[in-house]
Amino acid sequence: MNRAELVRQIKIKRSVLCVGLDTDPHKIPAHLTVEDDPVFAFNKAIIDATKDYTVAYKINTAFYEAQGLRGWESLQKTLDYIPKEIFTIADAKRGDIGNTAEQYARTFFKTYPFDSVTVAPYMGSDSVTPFLEFDGHWAIVLGLTSNNGSSDFQLQQCGDELLYEKVLKTVASWGSPENTMFVIGATREEQLQHVRSILPKHFFLVPGVGAQGGDVATVCKNAMNADAGILINVSRGVIYAGNGTDFSDKAKKAAQNYQQQMQAFL
């Protein structure tokens, strides 16, 4: 999916909601455990309930890889079930060099045809540029995260700037706002403003809203650009809004609530 198509969906749905399908088999409602594939049954119900309010789905591959072959099968079925007009993200955080990076890119753009994949830039251009060679696909590069350990490296001084600032500027020079996004955490207002000043045109994938303490208004006010320019990811706050037989109804209400908050800024 190219940028124009993504922006079109944002305008149609008046939403920047990305639902994270970080499906933990131990948290699936009990009545689904009798299904042949409980993970896919859960994901299917969540997608049916939320697709009208969602412009992207993010599949965290760790939750599927942990289940072995069965998990990869659930991932494939889930990816196939997502409507084609909705942006798909493989949250795989791959980062390696040369032929290995090329194979990772083929994995998530060809074998499993996602629109985008998260990438760790620690090994430099070798670990990012292979993902930029596929038209209509995106590398979503880790930029500034909000986890407890983010200050160990990201906020360290690097010459006359912080390390994360150097990463953002350098990675942006390898691609363009048409094929490169950045993961930017949602919990600090001043950081969102600063990152947007560094990268005025790029899209940001913004985690941290909901269970991690971020809120929609803060992100939208401080990180949006003319094309919206953000995808706000919510995982637990939507998919685990309920755990009974009405779990999909509660997920729908949660997604609708987030969309209603977002449309005020679009």
Question: Residues 18, 223: contact at Cβ < 8 Å?
Answer: no
Measured distance CA(222)–CA(192) in Å, rounded: 6
End-to-end CA gap in the chain = 21
> Burial, 124: exposed, middle or buried (Cβ in 10 Å; 0-12, 13-18, 19+)?
middle
The closest alpha carbon to 135, from 111, 152, 115, 162, belongs to: 115
Does residue 169 carry a catalytic annotation? Answer: no
Of these residues, 93, 201, 250, 253, which one is catalytic?
93
Q: Which residues of 159-189 are buried (b: 16+ CB within 10 A; e: fewer)?
A: eeebebbebbeebbebbebebbbbbbbbbbe
Q: Which residues are catalytic?
A: 93
